[in-house]
A and B are shown apart, each in its own frame.
Chain A
């Protein structure tokens, strides 16, 4: 037995350039795809550009805040802006989004205040927004768990009997390449498939599960797994916001009209660390990062806008200024976030009264109050 065979998969077929749906080249050239027509006006493109720039700036600010000890942790989306904004803008108000913990761009599209995301990573609470209000579920830290919640939710939509009507909403579940190894994700595929649930599985394949490369998760391209479960899988250029938008739109529409699940694999790259506690220089080559930099999701939209004469320097400056303003306010608001009251840990654990927890709460309140008495 060779070392290679112990490590596994020496014969893994590696597609040099994987087959993927692309509507905008890294150089900013628009290309058409027969299955995914996309008609965007200049205003729409400028809007997408603004989203991309702002979420990148918010992400950078959050990383800086973490480095300064103001957040306990942050999972950076750097490099994945197009996958998130494209798919996030594809979803309509009736759709329900189930994110993992890196979907800050999707949260932006669902009007979740960035401060709420920061609050969670700062340790103010474990969530903090109303998922129903935003059609955006809570961040889920346990890898892949939310894909089952999403599938069940989609089964509920199915049971409501609204599919095929204008009020139908689809469900979209986000997860990463590492999550595809989890039992829950595979169980989600089984349930979604056999019940034909109205769901889109949106996998952001960012190539790395902390330090483990894609080769440690799969011997076949991830989108091809869908076939084994009995529904379509599509790979899209995850750094191409147009392609992510068009492919997700179609998949969501298929779900809403009762045509069942789709797996979308957004082929992208996590430019930063897994989280702020991680050190990618220990496990990956600089050359790989440099190669992906050339596929930057924001630069190609900028090039397209410039080439098509859809935006001038004034527009880019305006977006830059707005992003700066948003992040400045975000930083101030983050630093001003008060710690929650200690007794708030007892809130919202149960919907109905729980006498023993109430007893502990009262005892702890009295204990805390005793310090105040002493201080007098």
Chain B
């Protein structure tokens, strides 16, 4: 058992995966000597060499496109997109090629590529460094999309994603990189939560908060504040966005009858819309109020000096909870 930051947990998970399987490669801009701009790949090139930790040209489509080719040759590339807002030049390769090649080949080809994307805001960054592009990728069949929220999940989920025969878009909450927790690096992987299972991270009976990635911690804080006022909120960390563990969600909402979805991406056409629709369909007679959503606005991500107003915070979450009870 050791105390790790989320960033170090990812680093440790990557290291384990590389030790366990010589076909695992790490590639991206600055991932080698620098160890990545967030140091997630720190020290890997030193220990595994330039052939396995590849500093690539500055070309996102090239990074994902060549990773596809390496996967076709039997490798398991883990590519780093430096920031969320830079994934769009690679979106073509991810959406039109990576996601569809297995089906196109009638199952003859396997694409075990992991695309790591540091996501979300809250670090005072400039434009294009604070986006939440998950909905673009959850909309694409053939991809798996997951988001870690804490060090233990970061450690296990990165290894599970690398082991998956399917392409995985792996979101890392960049403002949580420095959060610490105990991680049992000796645990048997069989005891890890399965990659596509959601986790009830705080049980409660009065309403359900659904979140993933960076918003999970905010929701836990909101639930703590609500408890002081006598409301017990159940917090679910979805962990996997595609596929979605709808069973864990509906079990909870069927008990509580109320649900608030929280994410950083704009609410309109965001991932919360999918959750609201599915919950409405599956829990209609148990709902005491409509599923409400708290998230970003229908604006581009704002300049950092006002990003705190854009990001869902305790007050906006608790305000939504109040509204579900006022129905």
Binding site for B on A (CB under 8 A): 125-133, 137-138, 140, 142, 145, 147-157, 159-160, 183-184, 187-188, 190-191, 194, 347-352, 354-357
Contact = CB atoms under 8 A, between A and B. Distances in A.
B62, B96, B101, B141: most-surrounded residue (chain A CB, <10 A): B62
Top 9 A-B residue pairs of the complex, sorted by shortest distance between their CB atoms: A152-B69, A148-B65, A156-B73, A152-B66, A351-B165, A187-B62, A153-B69, A348-B107, A127-B104
A138 B102 CA distance: 11
B97 A149 contact: yes
A142 B72 contact: no
Contacts of B108: 129-133
Interface stretch (B51-59, B128-136, B148-156, B222-230): B51-59
B250 interface: no
Interface in B73-89: 73-75, 77, 89
B71, B96, B109, B166: most-surrounded residue (chain A CB, <10 A): B109
14 contacts: A125-B104, A145-B65, A149-B68, A149-B72, A152-B65, A152-B67, A152-B77, A153-B72, A155-B66, A155-B70, A157-B73, A191-B56, A348-B103, A351-B166
Given A142-B97, A153-B72, A194 B57 contact: yes
A125 B75 CA distance: 26
Contact of A145 (B59, B92, B102, B244): B92
Contact of B92 (A128, A142, A160): A142
Nearest to B245: A355
Contact of B105 (A151, A348, A356): A348
Nearest to B66: A152
Given A183-B61, A187-B57, A357-B243, A127 B68 contact: no
A352 B65 contact: no
Given A127-B104, A127-B106, A357-B243, A145 B66 contact: no
B103 A126 contact: yes
Interface string B210-247: 00000000000000000000000000000000111110
Interface residues of B, number: 48
Looking at chain A's contact residues, the main secondary structure is: helix
Given A138-B104, A347-B106, A349-B141, A153 B93 contact: no
Given A128-B106, A131-B109, A157-B73, A148 B61 contact: yes
Contacts of A352: 164-166
Nearest to B74: A156
B180 interface: no
B264 interface: no
Contacts of A184: 61-62, 65, 92-93
A108 to B, nearest CB: 20
A64 B102 CA distance: 31
B270 interface: no
Contact of A355 (B51, B97, B243): B243
B100 interface: yes
Given A149-B97, A156-B75, A187-B61, 7 more contacts: A128-B106, A131-B105, A145-B65, A150-B69, A156-B70, A159-B51, A355-B243
